[in-house]
Amino acid sequence: MQFYFPDSQDQIDPSFDFITERRSIYRVRQRDDRYAHDVIDPPPYDGLLISKPMVDGLPGKTGKYTEAQRNRLYREGAKRFFRLNQRNVNLKIMGDCGAFTYVREPEPVYTVEEVLSFYAECGLDLGIAVDHLIFGYDAKLDTKGAADVPEEWKFRQDLTIEFAAEFLQLHRVRKCGFKPMAVAHGWSPLSYAMAVSQLQDIGYDRIALGGMVPLKTPDILDTLREVSVVLDPLVQLHLLGVTRTAHLQGFTGFGGTRFNRTSPFVQAFKDEKDNYHTLDGSFIALRIPQVDGNTRLRKQVTAGLVDQRSARRLERDCLSSLRKYDKDCIGVESVLNAIRGYEELFGTKKDRSAEYRRTLEAKPWKQCGCTVCTEIGVEVIIFRGADRNRRRGFHNLAVFSQRLRRELDRSREGLVDA
């Protein structure tokens, strides 16, 4: 089972100083920054997934890449751009057309030729055919007639299969170097199985199951069970957007070989409390926002309701207290009091003291041997700015990789015992 991490221009700046919170004036974004596979050894994923909308944008909208970055990607190729050629890293790069970005459009915004050219020009290893998402699932439709299925769903499934056939034909004509993959969309276990069967008949030996992000685990397993009935043993199955490690045995048992998801990374700074992952659980990160970075506090300072010097002093006290606690110079209460004093200043309504106490008493960063925790220590547990938050995300990816290997080992042991 291979894990592909979607690229979203999430790198860290190695020149960032956590005490002064300044960076090198000579830093060039992306070129001088580091990806997770540059930082974590071994890399926490088996490959990268790059999306055409991320690089080229949508019609009328720009992507997340600057024009200079985009040009360099095309000029150098993905392997060199992501620095996979600078060390002995055997990572694959897969591309997709970002169907989530145009899900509300009546049809995909890219042609088959545009997508195929993007993969070929970037020098990718795998390329996913143009698809159109179906946002709807109803297993009961398997026991009803075709007339009960919404026409929009049937249209999108048929269009995806039609594009897949065109994609494979053009791939053969151009003799492209990347491996083609198609997407099976459906609204029920049988409809997914039917799509997989059709794609196999077209000639695909790599098929992804799309639209599964909102599905509940039992629905995913039911779909995989039905797909496994028609799945050719030589066909590789990719699960788009699924990272439920507790159910890996079920996924692999029904033919799953690859999946992709960003959640271990983004939980570091988007989740309410599960910000720092461990092998058997998670902890909340301590929120110490920047005076200049907190919108509410900045407005209060501008309005004269809060003294800026007092705010900065309380901010510094929080950071200083946490670092002293890390060195066993002060106790938990001193840190919590400092944080509460700062929170009162900018009016935090939610009391996270109990969760913070749990994190502080456990000191999980002290028990972790990943590169991030080893290098920056207690800074990893501070919810503050992209430079800390992304590093914590890299840590989460390292932990996810360990969880994945553990579950795969358990799955193999279960097969042996059986």
Could you tell me the pLDDT band of residue 350, with boundaries at 50, 70 and 90?
A: confident
Q: Are 283 and 276 in contact (CB under 8 A)?
A: yes
CATH, range 46-261: 3.20.20.105
Verdict on whether the full-model pTM lies above 0.75: yes
Give pLDDT tens digits for 379-411.
Answer: 999 999 999 999 999 999 999 999 888 877 776
Give pLDDT tens digits for 276-325.
Answer: 999 999 999 999 999 887 787 888 888 888 888 999 999 999 999 999 99
Cα–Cα distance, 39 to 88 (Å, whole number): 14
- Per-residue b/e over 310-341, b at no fewer than 16 CB within 10 Å? ebeebbebbbebbbbbbeeebeeeebbebbbe
Domain residue spans in the chain? 46-261, 272-384
Give pLDDT tens digits for 65-92.
Answer: 999 999 999 999 999 999 987 766 789 9
Tokens of 283: 């902890």
% of the chain with per-residue pLDDT over 90? 73
Average pLDDT over residues 134-153: 93
Average pLDDT over residues 183-197: 97
Q: What angle do CA 165, 170, 176 make, to 5 degrees?
A: 120
**Distance from the first to the final alpha carbon of the chain:** 20
Residue 40 has pLDDT above 80, yes or no: yes
Average pLDDT over residues 100-108: 95
Give pLDDT tens digits for 207-255.
Answer: 999 998 888 889 999 999 999 999 999 999 998 877 665 556 666 665 5
Return the pLDDT at 415.
Answer: 45
Residue 417 has pLDDT above 60, yes or no: no
Tokens of 308: 């800026």
User: Mean pLDDT of all residues in the chain?
Assistant: 91
Cα–Cα distance, 238 to 183 (Å, whole number): 9
Question: Does a cis peptide bond (omega within 30 degrees of 0) precede residue 218?
Answer: no
Cα–Cα distance, 64 to 61 (Å, whole number): 10
